[in-house]
Amino acid sequence: MLWNAEIYENVADAATAKATEVTPAPFADPRQLRNTLGNFATGVTVLTYQSGDTFHGVTVNSFTSVSMDPPLVLISLMRTSRALTYLLERPFAINILGEDQLSTALQFAGKPQEEPIEWVTDEEAPRINGALAYFQCTPWASYDGGDHVLVLGQVSSFGQKDETKPLLFYRGQWGELATAEENEK
């Protein structure tokens, strides 16, 4: 189990990329930096919360686990996000979307869809029905991240659907996870 083990690479055995293998880009172009960062495929999450009697959400692909003890996860939100002010003071849920939930991702990315959202309201924060996995969180801490704010949430409960594959985002495109069997065909 990798969670409890640390992995070290012998520095003498580490390979160094040759200049002909990787072309460094000048750091002057933010768009090129964004495009290069897009080479890292991410899962797609929707962060959900309640304000008054209304449920809200925002599509986020900057999500990661941080700690097992205490159980902490991290999301990164732009400083201009309306959700940010709410998240620092109330419970929220992080919903990992499945490959069949592209319309949900678009809905909370500011592109309204016809399909209504099915909410689950059995815990502190509303969550999206049918998500691949979810984490119920309470705010733990927030940190300056330049034009973003890094928000740590302490996980109070979680769940998953084992038979569902994730929705992915790669190079500005939505995608699905390919299995080894599909690649062998």
Kindly report, residue by residue over 110-123, the tens digit of the pLDDT.
888 988 999 999 99
Taking residues 164-175, what's their average pLDDT? 68
- CA 161 to mean position of chain CA atoms: 17
The answer to whether the Cα torsion of 149, 131, 106, 110 is positive or negative is: negative
State the pLDDT confidence band at 32, using cuts at 50, 70 and 90: confident
Nearest partner of 166 among 63, 44, 57, judged by Cα: 44
Side-chain-side CA neighbours of 47 within 13 Å: the count stands at 28
**Type and span of the H or E element at 11:** none
Q: Tell me: the pLDDT tens digits for 74-97? A: 999 989 888 888 888 899 999 999
Is the pLDDT higher at 40 or at 153? Answer: 153
What is the per-residue pLDDT for 172?
A: 59
Least confident residue range of 66-70, 94-98, 136-140, 160-164: 160-164
Average pLDDT, the chain: 80
Residue boundaries of the structural domains of the chain? 42-176
> For the domain 42-176, what is the CATH code?
2.30.110.10
Measured between alpha carbons, how far is 160 from 121 in angstroms, rounded to an integer?
16
Tokens encoding 98: 């499945």
| Whether the predicted pLDDT of 142 surpasses 50 | yes
Q: Where are the beta strands (DSSP E) in 107-171?
A: 119-120, 127-128, 133-145, 148-160, 167-170
Asked if residue 109 lies in contact with residue 79, where contact means CB atoms within 8 angstroms, the answer is no
Is the pLDDT higher at 174 or at 104? Answer: 104
Tokens encoding 153: 């949430």
For the chain, the residue count is 185
Give the pairing type, strands 92-96 and 45-51.
Answer: antiparallel
Compute the CA torsion angle 176, 178, 182, 185 (nearest 10 deg): 100
